């Protein structure tokens, strides 16, 4: 296939179109607005539905209604806009509907700024909406991976009747790289037996997340949890680099995994036996991988553009079997590979101070830098 130079947001939009998305509902917010603008042009060209809603709350509820038809439906937003969508995401999960959401993260909390960040990890991975549900969350580190994971998101959403989030950030959304776009999938013509496709000639179907019978609601929750167990067993994805001889490892998702790879390569050029673990599914998290490596490595460094949100999942997975340290930047600040390289050198020297929480030790080190 021909490779095309595309901006990240536009590549995701085109990937969704080629994956067979039938309707897009959204509201502009930087740094994802190009995705919406691209959809505004392309969807009508193809005879598909595009609606710029009056708010993020309206957009996600339009997704909710349209997803009931069994069509491929999506929305996109950025951090504070996604926060406004969380009620609707919980409704979609509770109704067991497939839907795709793109979150192009920016600096926060509050309105924050439009610089890239990773502060939505907890919001997307560990909740956001209320109740007992989990979303599948995919974290790309390049434009090509953004394209591939967007296509995958629709397939996973339909396979598990689940919300799937592609969790990217402003740097990946705004950068340009060559990518290979997938072929067009035919739009769906057959729909599952739960879809509300019109009751002419059959009994009506009702889809809702409200269940006033606690016993029946518990049955639904058990069904969701068992489905999540199936997802955990079959859909964990990650990439590792230079782990064959590694005594130390760095881990980061999305942009941080990408920039950490540059630091790892530089460290190996200095003779430091370090590798990289980059989770692609951060939900489900590759817990078994980290647990296995905790018995082989001498130390592990977690790098994020937040205050250590994935760090907590790493700590749970490693069970205090290995020294874990942390380096992060916040508020839209992006760490340079040289910063990560300095952290690798520090960790590789050994004799790490492991007293207290890794986040507290990081805060102490950053205070020494007047931060």
186-209 pLDDT per residue, tens: 999 999 999 999 988 889 999 999
**CA dist., res. 218 & res. 132, Å (int):** 10
pLDDT at 91 over 80: yes
198 located within any domain: no
109 and 174 together in one domain: yes
Q: Is residue 200 part of a domain?
A: no
| Whether residue 229 sits in one domain with residue 246 | no
Do 49 and 22 touch, CB atoms closer than 8 A? yes
**Per-residue pLDDT band at 354 (split at 50, 70, 90):** confident
- Residue of 145, 136, 132 lying closest to 99 (CA atoms): 136
Q: In this structure, is residue 199 part of a structural domain?
A: no
In a shared domain, residues 93 and 20? yes
Whole-number percent of the chain with pLDDT over 70 = 100
pLDDT at residue 160 greater than cutoff 80? yes
Tokens representing residue 114 in the block: 């439009």
Rg (CA), the chain: 21
pLDDT band per the 50, 70, 90 thresholds, residue 352: confident
Q: What is the pTM of this model?
A: 0.97
More confident residue, 343 or 3: 343
**pLDDT value at 1 more than 70:** no
User: How far apart, in whole angstroms, are the C-alpha atoms of residue 219 and residue 209?
Assistant: 13
Q: Is the pLDDT of residue 99 over 70?
A: yes
pLDDT (0 to 100) of residue 201: 86
User: What token pair was written down for 121?
Assistant: 């990890």
Helix (H) or strand (E) holding 289: helix 287-293
CATH number, domain containing residue 244:
3.40.50.920
CATH number assigned to the domain comprising residue 66: 3.40.50.970
Is 67 a domain residue? yes
Residues 78 and 120 in one domain: yes
pLDDT value of residue 61: 98
Same domain for 136 and 78: yes
Q: Are residues 156 and 171 in the same domain?
A: yes
Query: Are 181 and 247 in a shared domain?
Result: no
Assess if residue 184 is contained within a domain: yes
Closest CA to 117 of 255, 275, 292, 279: 255
Q: Is residue 31 in some structural domain? A: yes
Same domain, 249 and 169: no
Provide long-range contacts, Cβ within 8 A and 24+ apart, for 207-211: 207/68, 207/95, 207/97, 208/95, 209/90, 209/91, 209/92, 209/93, 209/94, 209/95
What number is the average pLDDT over the span 357-371? Answer: 93
- 2 has a pLDDT exceeding 80: no
Note the pLDDT of residue 277. 98
The parent domain of residue 133 ranges over 3-190+207-234
What tokens does 136 get? 């599948």
- Amino acid 262: pLDDT: 98
Q: What is the pLDDT of residue 87?
A: 96
Torsion over CA: 268, 270, 274, 278 (sign):
negative
The count of structural domains within the chain is: 2
Across the range 89-118, mean pLDDT stands at: 97
**Which pLDDT does position 353 carry in this prediction?**
83
What is the arithmetic mean of pLDDT over 349-366?
A: 92
Is 45 a domain residue? yes
Which band of pLDDT confidence, cut at 50, 70 and 90, is reported for residue 351? confident
What is the pLDDT confidence band of residue 371, given thresholds at 50, 70 and 90?
A: confident
Q: Please state which of the ranges 119-133, 257-271, 278-292 shows the lowest mean pLDDT.
A: 119-133
> How high is the pLDDT of residue 312?
98
* pLDDT (mean) for 159-170: 98
Q: What percent of the chain has pLDDT over 90?
A: 94
Residue ending a domain, among 234, 252, 287, is 234
Phi-psi label, residue 350: left if phi above 0, alpha if psi -120 to 50, beta otherwise = left
Mean pLDDT of 14-42: 98
In this structure, the answer to whether residues 32 and 141 fall within a common structural domain is yes
Which string of b and e fits 338-362 if b means at least 16 CB within 10 Å?
A: eebbebbeebbeeebeeeeebbebb
Query: Distance between terminal CA atoms of the chain?
Result: 47
Residue 195 lies in a domain: no
Distance CA 189, CA 191 (A): 7
CA distances in angstroms from 102 to 139, 163, 187, 191, 303, listed in the order given? 10, 11, 21, 24, 22
- Same-domain pairing of 94 and 132: yes
Same-domain check for residues 125 and 172 = yes
User: Does residue 171 share a domain with residue 44?
Assistant: yes
Burial 283-309 (b: 16+ CB within 10 A, else e): bbbbeebbeebbeebebbbbbbbbbbb
The chain-wide mean pLDDT, for the chain, equals 96
Q: In the prediction, which pLDDT does 127 show? A: 78
């Amino acid at each position: 296939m021909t490779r095309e130079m595309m901006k990240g947001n536009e590549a995701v939009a085109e990937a969704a179109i080629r994956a067979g998305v039938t309707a897009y509902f959204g509201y502009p917010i930087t740094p994802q607005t190009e995705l919406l603008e691209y959809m505004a042009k392309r969807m009508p060209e193809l005879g598909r539905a595009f609606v710029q809603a009056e708010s993020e709350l309206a957009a996600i509820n339009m997704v909710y209604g349209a997803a009931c038809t069994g069509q491929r439906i999506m929305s996109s937003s950025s951090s504070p806009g996604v926060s406004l969508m969380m009620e609707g995401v919980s409704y979609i999960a509770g109704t067991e509907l497939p839907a795709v959401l793109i979150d192009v993260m920016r600096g926060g909390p509050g309105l924050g700024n439009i610089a890239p960040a990773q502060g939505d990890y907890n919001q997307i991975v560990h909740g956001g909406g209320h109740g007992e549900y989990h979303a599948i969350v995919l974290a790309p580190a390049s434009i090509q991976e953004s394209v591939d994971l967007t296509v995958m998101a629709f397939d996973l959403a339909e396979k598990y009747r689940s919300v799937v989030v592609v969790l990217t950030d402003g740097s990946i959304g705004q950068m340009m790289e060559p990518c290979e776009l997938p072929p067009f999938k035919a739009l769906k013509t057959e729909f599952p037996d739960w879809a509300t496709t019109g009751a002419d000639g059959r009994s009506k179907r009702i889809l809702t997340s409200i269940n006033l019978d606690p016993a029946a609601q518990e049955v639904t929750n058990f069904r969701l949890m068992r489905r999540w167990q199936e997802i955990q067993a079959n859909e964990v994805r990650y990439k590792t680099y230079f782990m064959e001889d590694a005594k130390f490892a760095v881990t980061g998702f999305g942009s941080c995994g990408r920039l950490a790879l540059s630091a790892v390569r530089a460290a190996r050029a200095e003779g430091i036996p370090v590798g990289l673990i980059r989770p692609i599914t951060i939900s489900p998290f590759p817990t078994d991988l980290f647990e296995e490596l905790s018995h082989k490595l001498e130390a592990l460094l977690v790098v994020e553009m937040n205050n250590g949100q994935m760090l907590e999942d790493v700590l749970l997975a490693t069970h205090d079997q290995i020294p874990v340290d942390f380096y992060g930047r916040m508020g839209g600040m992006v760490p340079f590979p040289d910063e990560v390289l300095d952290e690798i050198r520090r960790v590789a020297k050994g004799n790490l101070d492991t007293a207290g929480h890794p986040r507290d030790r990081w805060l102490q080190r950053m205070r020494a830098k007047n931060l």
